[in-house]
């Protein structure tokens, strides 16, 4: 991935404090899409914007807003899982994919 930046958006579906928070609307746009918009504003040609999620509804919302989706393994989608291991998983999974930039 030399010369490219991988923007990773963690969006686990099992929030206990604010259920469904990644799908909550802010000014008519889901929170996960706001993260994608911010990444797109910082991205350059060839960069990847990827949402890592375990939730089908979040995956659908991210896709609608032009964000590539990487299904997060169950072991990395628990209440006690940290964010430390999944960037390596995402990097390996996206190394052969084409760029995804989308602005709305």
Instruction: Supply the range of the domain harboring residue 89.
Output: 6-94
Tally the domains of the chain. Answer: 1
Q: Could you tell me if residue 70 is inside a domain?
A: yes
Q: Is residue 98 scored above 50 in pLDDT?
A: no
Does residue 103 fall inside a structural domain?
no
DSSP 22-60: GG-EETTEEHHHHHHHHHHHH--TT-EEEEEES-HHHHH
Q: Is residue 100 part of a domain?
A: no
Res. 101: pLDDT tops 50: no
CATH of the domain at 86: 3.90.550.10
Task: Evaluate whether residue 101 is within a structural domain.
Answer: no
Is-above-0.95 flag for pTM? no
pLDDT digits (tens, 9 = 90+) for 43-92: 999 999 999 999 999 999 999 999 999 998 766 655 666 665 555 555 55
Is 104 inside a domain boundary? no
Q: Does 62 reside within a domain?
A: yes
Which tens digits make up the pLDDT trace of 38-57?
A: 999 999 999 999 999 999 99
């Amino acid at each position: 991935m030399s010369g490219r930046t991988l923007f990773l958006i963690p969006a686990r579906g099992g929030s206990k404090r604010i259920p469904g928070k990644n799908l909550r609307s802010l000014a008519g746009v889901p929170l996960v899409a706001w993260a994608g918009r911010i990444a797109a504003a910082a991205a350059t040609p060839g960069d990847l914007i990827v949402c890592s999620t375990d939730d089908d509804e979040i995956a659908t919302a991210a896709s609608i807003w032009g964000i590539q989706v990487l299904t997060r393994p169950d072991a990395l989608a628990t209440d006690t899982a940290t964010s430390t291991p999944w960037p390596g998983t995402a990097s390996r999974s996206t190394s052969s994919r084409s760029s995804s930039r989308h602005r709305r």
